[in-house]
Structure 1
């Protein structure tokens, strides 16, 4: 494969990610997902794109834009472990995954061993406790156990030998809160799966005091009848909220020429709607016992919805930002969206977008969610390349906010 072919494939590869959480629900790393834009696949065909191409793609995009300061788990083809090309970024930033469909040959074993000796972290993907993997275990730092494929009652005994070797245990493909709790109690170190992005709704459940206080703050912040003075007073009278808003505004992410010392100054300089949106995101982060990646998701969706609106309906940018932010409410509150929205004073257009993805705002949100789920091949609204750039820019902004 010549350089022009490699460059073409690098340009075509579309990248997504899934968060990996630690025992405290903080983000430990992101697994990078990539696919051929011509097909609805979550992994790029190894015969079409070599590991060299994949690594070059991540290098060209820039890992910090995708994962911030977190580790990146990267799935690589068998040829990588036998041909051993250079890794184009710091080994401290990546974990290389040995996929379950790789044939365990002597060259693969020696390749993994050499990487281990160089200090590169190695993970075994979709581990099912088969003997064929035993030669690799001495050189692996992390084992990813595919939960749907194992008997949970027998799992503790199966894990014991891995613990004795000091291997980090990652439970993947978690679907429910029950699975998460059992595996947490079992002593798993890391967790990954759709459970962290889906609501665990319990019918008839009342909002906790913490949730109620957040909803009350959101209700005031999202009230379409609120005046600039009302928003200023609301934020200024909440010391923690005011401090976080000012900290972000004065961070490198905003790159303002001078220090802003009051909410009034911030509103004058940055605008009523931008400060309101920032306060909404900070209010959402007050919900307890939820994974940190969820607030990052809200921030990415908000920025992405706003930027899509900039291209297709500029007059809706502020509303689109709010729709993106609030689209995680059902997961945050463990309640049906319609129940939560009854407590908020949102416009009919925003409600329709959040409940049924109707109207122009709903169309923008639906496109954002399809791209997030790697189920978007480019739409009439925007090309896939434009959407990918918007997603990367939105991710970068979200990490900047979290660091502020």
Structure 2
């Protein structure tokens, strides 16, 4: 196996990863501080480069140059798994130090040369993270070079997680718990003393037995019900939106933004319906209503938006009818996490078409297949990612475009 990668060779070739996934990393306040970037190459890509070290470097290069760090890790650091060969090569200097964290496996052979290279990168502003530490002794120079140490919650029980957390605390390094799947696990790790938390645990509601929807959540649900009633007339749709002054103002601001790209300024809800049509106005109104939920972490809404846009893009590529239905399905797939109630309970209050309901609850039909594709991609279950006859590159492109679109949406809302 080669121990370095030639930059000229790297830049002259082209290997775009078939799948580019990510997993969020949160602080104690559930604000996103970074994303671990995950890759999976297709069979044809693996055949292109038999050298795994070169393929890894090429994948990193294509991802950051082709896509840009702002698309995969907006406003935060990108955490990359880095091998010894990658660190020892000159390729690391190609990435922006302030936006990059290099994750090094805890079972690597940390000799003096390797530690010196990591120390140099740390001095240059890169964040070094020891990933998957099991409590073994670490050289003091390595500890000084690293910013944080990750512990895998999937590998240890609660008491072991506490012991490892105390051990990292004694080393005076930031403590990250990864593979957190539920809010209960998050709370347990936070109580144990961890400072950052990686996983998709926010995508699930924290349901309290006997709990009810808060008044604010209930009022929003009633408005969603009025908007999504398939039998509602244009007049009722206009009345439902207009009765909420804040919603009307925000919706008009949004439809007049660059996100919608209208040629003429929209000055009223009635005007918006005339230009956009009732179906798409419902879609945008749903989006604005859910964006206003401010008692839940913003990351949940961001996830819903990526799902919504990716679903609608998959519809366009597969020739699915009514992309707005796909969009709404993706958006509503996070209602349980946004409103902190079971999805079945929420959907029972909404007059949704059976197609949309079965897609949300059982992933049935073409719309359900698109949603399942988005969810598998989101969780980096790449072996299960499929949608109609689309190849892996088409699906990846839909995901990347959804990430770009979501980033632009934040400023519009």
Matched position secondary structure for 1:25: coil
Aligned partner of 2:408 in structure 1 is 400
Aligned counterpart in structure 1 of residue 79 of structure 2, from 53, 68, 73? 73
Task: Encode CA deviations 1:15-36: one digit per residue, 9 max, x unaligned.
Answer: 0111112222222221111112
Is this contact kept in 2: 1:169–1:189, CA < 8 A? yes
Q: 1:167 to 1:358 in 2, by over 3 A?
A: same
Q: Which moved more, 1:263-272 or 1:323-332?
A: 263-272
CA-CA distance at 1:186 after TM superposition: 4.0
CA apart distance, 1:158: 4.9
Secondary structure at the aligned position of 2:98 is classed as: helix
Shift of the 187–248 alpha-carbon distance from structure 1 to 2, 3 Å rule, reads: farther
- Distance of 1:253 and 1:88 partners within structure 2: 32
The number of residues matched between the two structures is 401
TM-score of the pair, normalised by structure 1: 0.87
**Paired position in structure 2 for 1:32:** 37
Note the residue ranges of structure 2 that are not aligned, 5 or more in a row.
none
| 1:282-301 Cα distance to aligned partner (Å, 9 max, x none) | 32234454332221121111
Provide the residue aligned with 1:195 in structure 2.
201
**Using the alignment, how far apart are the partners of 2:289 and 2:400 within structure 1?**
24
Give the 3-state SS of the residue equivalent to 1:253 in structure 2.
Answer: coil
* 8 Å Cα contact 1:99/1:125 also seen in 2: yes
**Map of 1:342 onto structure 2:** 348
| In structure 2, distance between residues paired with 1:133 and 1:220 | 62
Note the 1:357-368 alignment, pairs <5 A: 357-368=363-374
Alignment of 1:100 with 2:100, yes or no, is no
Deviates further, 110-119 or 234-243: 234-243
Instruction: Tell me if the contact between 2:330 and 2:371 (Cα under 8 Å) persists in the aligned partners.
Output: yes
Match of 2:389 among 378, 381, 390: 381
Other structure's SS at 1:300 match: helix
- Structure 1 residue 224 corresponds to structure 2 residue 268: no
Q: Secondary structure at the match of 1:390?
A: helix
Task: Provide the C-alpha distance between the structure 1 equivalents of 2:51 and 2:41, rounded to a whole number of angstroms.
Answer: 8
Give the superposition deviation at 1:162.
Answer: 4.4
> Which runs of structure 2 are paired with 1:12-51 in the superposition (5 Å)?
12-38=17-43, 46-47=52-53, 49-51=55-57
TM-superposed CA distance for 1:180, in Å, is 1.4
Report Cα offsets for 1:1-26 as digits up to 9, x if no partner: 78788766622442011111222222
Q: 1:241 to 1:128 in 2, by over 3 A?
A: farther
Aligned positions of 1:98-137 closer than 5 A: 98-132=104-138, 134-137=140-143
1:254-308 deviation digits (Å, cap 9, x = unpaired) = 4555654433343333333223212212322344543322211211111111121
The answer to whether the aligner puts 1:298 opposite 2:304 as a matched pair is yes
TM-score (norm 2): 0.85
Post-superposition CA distance 1:149-203 (Å, at most 9, x none):
4454465565456446653322211123222123323443321123222344455
Match of 1:324 in 2: 330
1:134–1:78 Cα change, 3 Å: same
Q: What is the Cα-based RMSD across aligned positions, in Å?
A: 3.0
Q: 2:273 and 2:51 mapped to 1: Cα distance?
A: 49
Partner of 2:61: 55
Q: Which moved more, 1:68-77 or 1:181-190?
A: 181-190
Equivalent residues of 2:10, 2:58 under 8 A apart = no
How far is 1:358 from its partner?
1.6
Instruction: Tell me how far 1:342 sits from its aligned partner.
Output: 1.0
The change in CA–CA distance for 1:363 and 1:245 in structure 2 (over 3 A counts) is: same
CA contact (8 A) 1:299 1:324 kept: yes
SS in 2 for 1:87: helix
